[in-house]
Amino acid sequence: MTRLFEAKNRSVLTRELIEALFPMFEEASAGAIAVDREARITWINQSYTQLLGLGDAGNAIGKPVRAVIPHTRMPEVVETGKPLLLDIMEHDKQQLVVTRLPYYDDGGEIVGAVAFVLYDDLQPLTPLVSKYRRLHQDLAAARKALAKKARGTRYSLGDFVGASPAALEVKRRARLAAGRDMPVLLLGETGTGKEVLAQAIHSVSTRTDKPFVGVNVAAIPDNLLEAEFFGVAPGAYTGADRRTRDGKFQLANGGTLFLDEVGDMPLPLQAKLLRALQEGEIEPLGSNKVVPVDVRVIAATSRNLEAMIAEGSFRSDLYYRLNVLEIPIPPLRDRLADLGVLCEALLEDIGDGLDVRGEITDAGVSALAGYDWPGNIRELRNVLERALTMGEDGGQLDADAIFKVLPRNGNRPVSTLAPRPVRPLGQTMAEAEAQAIEEALVAARGNRTRAAKLLGISRSVLYEKLAKMS
Ligand SMILES: Nc1ncnc2c1ncn2[C@@H]1O[C@H](COP(=O)(O)OP(=O)(O)OP(=O)(O)O)[C@@H](O)[C@H]1O
């Protein structure tokens, strides 16, 4: 054997070996095919013809191999002269394990390639294939995460959890905002998801491939805000950097600038911001040159800007400039029907970090519904996280587990001490009934069949009552 190898050059040997092994491979494999130097099919056996569903081999001969087998890499083998010993090829929703070898003439020139389908049924290769699938999934997830990171956003519209009419209206407006390149003003209490929504709007908009830059106006000292926004020219003031320092406007150029807590912006900067938005250009600190910028502004605030205008602390012209499309985000206490789905989503997210699978019972959700949620969804997340860390029930959160961690202050008063005026019995009963229905719907996470069961009435009666209430 060794002498045989010594006597021949490599390409002749390869050809002889292929020729020697060919009948055995053709017999044992699920299909065999040969192509010429131009990667056109010169031969295909019966089993491969059947596997590909070609009917007759004559239909394939002479055609470019990619026209018949779109994912084949035979042209690559012909081109490079390098064999592809093992590969998984997708064809028509099947996964085929294939091997491809170059084929040489006597002078060592490549004249074509042959390929064999080693397996068309992946059963014997299950461990290998599941590893391949897992790697494929990991790759897809990593690509997605990378794309998000490149965009600078963590959230998309699906991350704004909620199916209540109020949440659906928020999402409808967000989609509208994403489709139009106009300023958006998000209004909502702290923790209601203003940043989630701003990122989501950016990632659905045409600016998605450009940067998303967020700046929290309230977190930056007043004297640094201008530099933060518009950047600094080299040597602008004593001690300033010799290099140009870009501001948030330049960093967001082409993309979206998220101005969080815009109501906290001092009046002089409001004037400069207005100019930048009107003119589409900025003037870095210490520079006498203007720089053109193209940013879409999404502003957010938890403050009442109209009241601030009335008292003179917010410019009305800036308000109208920012408020082309307004999206009010309701506080959690006004969309308690979303508590169940929010808990599920938040517990899944928290669980990933803590390595615990958290679940909340219907009674647990009802316990949460009794609280006022001044910190909204951020506070809900904290409460669930505390309950999960302190819980002893393997991640099951029932009412007791919730009450243990729910702040007492801010609880809705269960009964009020002030005497209530006496009202007609019918009205009092209707109110009590409406409250019971609302509580049942919250406990049943919006599922009307389950709510009816909890109330001990039929589904149709519940529908009747709901129709009367609306
Ligand atoms: N609708 C929602 N669905 C799922 N998670 C949400 C939702 N809204 C908010 N969150 C979560 O609540 C937390 C606070 O959200 P976010 O920072 O967007 O609120 P915010 O309104 O911008 O708050 P602030 O005004 O204090 O900056 C985040 O952890 C976010 O993931």
CB atoms near residue 468 (< 10 Å): 10
Helix (H) or strand (E) holding 215: strand 212-216
What are the two backbone dihedrals, phi and then psi, of residue 112, each rounded to the nearest 5 degrees?
165, -160
- Assign 130 a pLDDT band (cuts: 50, 70, 90): confident
Of 76-90, 392-406, 427-441, least confident by mean pLDDT is 427-441
Q: What angle do CA 399, 402, 406 make, to 5 degrees?
A: 135
Quick one: pLDDT at residue 109?
Answer: 87
In a domain, 116, yes or no: yes
Residue with the bigger pLDDT between 73 and 159: it is 73
Q: What angle do CA 55, 59, 63 make, to 5 degrees?
A: 140
Of 61-65, 142-146, 211-215, 369-373, least confident by mean pLDDT is 142-146
- Assign 414 a pLDDT band (cuts: 50, 70, 90): very low
Pocket lining: 162 vs ligand 1, CB cutoff 6 Å: yes
Q: Is the confidence at residue 256, as pLDDT, over 60?
A: yes
Quick one: pLDDT at residue 453?
Answer: 86
Query: The complex's ipTM?
Result: 0.96
Quick one: pLDDT at residue 245?
Answer: 84
* 141 burial type by CB count under 10 A (0-12 exposed, 13-18 middle, 19+ buried): exposed
Pick the most confident of 5-19, 101-115, 177-191. Answer: 177-191
What span, in angstroms and rounded, lies between the C-alpha atoms of 129 and 61? Answer: 32
117 and 249, same domain (yes or no) = no
Question: Alpha carbon 328 to chain centroid distance?
Answer: 22
Which of helix, strand or coil describes residue 90?
strand
**CB neighbours of 255 closer than 8 A, spacing ≥ 6?**
152, 202, 207, 210, 211, 212, 213, 295, 296
Say which amino acid occupies 95.
Q
How many CA atoms are closer than 13 Å to the CA of 203, on its beta-carbon side? 22
In a domain, 182, yes or no: yes
Cα of 99 from ligand 1 centre, angstroms: 52
| pLDDT 10s digits, 319-329 | 999 999 999 99
In a domain, 410, yes or no: no
| pLDDT 10s digits, 267-278 | 999 999 999 999
The last residue of a domain, from among 372, 405, 438? 405
If you average pLDDT over every residue of the chain, what do you get? 85
Q: Is the confidence at residue 305, as pLDDT, over 70?
A: yes
Residue with the bigger pLDDT between 238 and 180: it is 180
Pocket lining: 362 vs ligand 1, CB cutoff 6 Å: no
178 and 264, same domain (yes or no) = yes
| Mean pLDDT to the nearest integer, 148-166 | 78
| Mean pLDDT to the nearest integer, 294-300 | 96
What are the two backbone dihedrals, phi and then psi, of residue 217, each rounded to the nearest 5 degrees?
-60, -40
Quick one: pLDDT at residue 241?
Answer: 58
In a domain, 420, yes or no: no
Which of helix, strand or coil describes residue 73?
coil
In a domain, 417, yes or no: no
As for how many domains the chain has, the answer is 5
% of the chain beyond a pLDDT of 90: 46
Pocket lining: 302 vs ligand 1, CB cutoff 6 Å: yes
What are the two backbone dihedrals, phi and then psi, of residue 54, each rounded to the nearest 5 degrees?
-90, -10
Domain extent at residue 46 = 2-121
CATH of the domain at 177: 3.40.50.300
Question: Alpha carbon 206 to chain centroid distance?
Answer: 16
**Beta-strand pair 256-260/296-301:** parallel
| Mean pLDDT to the nearest integer, 217-239 | 82
What angle, rounded to 10 degrees, do the helices at 194-204 and 126-151 form?
100
298 and 393, same domain (yes or no) = no
Helix (H) or strand (E) holding 267: helix 267-279
The DSSP code for 11 is H
299 and 204, same domain (yes or no) = yes
393 and 459, same domain (yes or no) = no
380 and 316, same domain (yes or no) = no
In a domain, 411, yes or no: no
Cα of 273 from ligand 1 centre, angstroms: 26
284 and 303, same domain (yes or no) = yes
Q: Is the confidence at residue 469, as pLDDT, over 70?
A: no
Quick one: pLDDT at residue 271?
Answer: 93
What are the two backbone dihedrals, phi and then psi, of residue 208, each rounded to the nearest 5 degrees?
-55, -30
The protein residue with its alpha carbon nearest to ligand 1, atom 7, reads 193
| Mean pLDDT to the nearest integer, 63-86 | 93
Quick one: pLDDT at residue 94?
Answer: 82
259 and 364, same domain (yes or no) = no
212 and 288, same domain (yes or no) = yes
296 and 362, same domain (yes or no) = no
Cα of 213 from ligand 1 centre, angstroms: 17
Any idea of the CA torsion for 304, 305, 309, 315, to the nearest 10 degrees? 160
Helix (H) or strand (E) holding 431: helix 425-443
What span, in angstroms and rounded, lies between the C-alpha atoms of 128 and 150? Answer: 32
213 and 91, same domain (yes or no) = no
Q: Is the confidence at residue 470, as pLDDT, over 60?
A: no
**CB neighbours of 305 closer than 8 A, spacing ≥ 6?**
187, 263, 314, 319, 323
The DSSP code for 156 is -
**CB neighbours of 260 closer than 8 A, spacing ≥ 6?**
194, 195, 198, 214, 215, 216, 217, 218, 300
Any idea of the CA torsion for 393, 338, 302, 262, to the nearest 10 degrees? 100
The last residue of a domain, from among 312, 330, 348? 330
Quick one: pLDDT at residue 430?
Answer: 83
Quick one: pLDDT at residue 237?
Answer: 63
In a domain, 111, yes or no: yes
- Give the tokens for residue 352: 């990933």
Cα of 383 from ligand 1 centre, angstroms: 14
| In contact, 232 and 188? CB cutoff 8 Å | no
248 and 166, same domain (yes or no) = yes
Quick one: pLDDT at residue 209?
Answer: 85
CATH of the domain at 105: 3.30.450.20
| pLDDT 10s digits, 7-54 | 566 667 777 777 788 888 888 888 999 999 999 999 999 999 999 988
The last residue of a domain, from among 330, 354, 371? 330
Q: Is the confidence at residue 296, as pLDDT, over 90?
A: yes
In ligand 1, the atom with minimum distance to the C-alpha of 302 is 25
The DSSP line for 272-321 is HHHHHHHHSEE--BT----EE---EEEEEESS-HHHHHHHTSS-HHHHHH
Q: What angle do CA 206, 208, 211 make, to 5 degrees?
A: 125
| pLDDT 10s digits, 445-457 | 666 777 788 888 9
| In contact, 201 and 178? CB cutoff 8 Å | yes
Q: Which of 195, 338, 342 should be mutated for ligand 1, with most atoms under 8 A from CB?
A: 195
Pocket lining: 198 vs ligand 1, CB cutoff 6 Å: no
Question: Model's pTM, two decimal places?
Answer: 0.61
Quick one: pLDDT at residue 149?
Answer: 63
* Rg (alpha carbons) of the chain, rounded to whole number: 34
In a domain, 418, yes or no: no
Quick one: pLDDT at residue 417?
Answer: 40
Q: Is the confidence at residue 198, as pLDDT, over 90?
A: yes
CATH of the domain at 394: 1.10.8.60
Closest C-alpha among 260, 253, 156 to residue 201? 156
In ligand 1, the atom with minimum distance to the C-alpha of 198 is 18
Look-up: residue for tokens 């699978």? Answer: 357
Residue with the bigger pLDDT between 414 and 210: it is 210
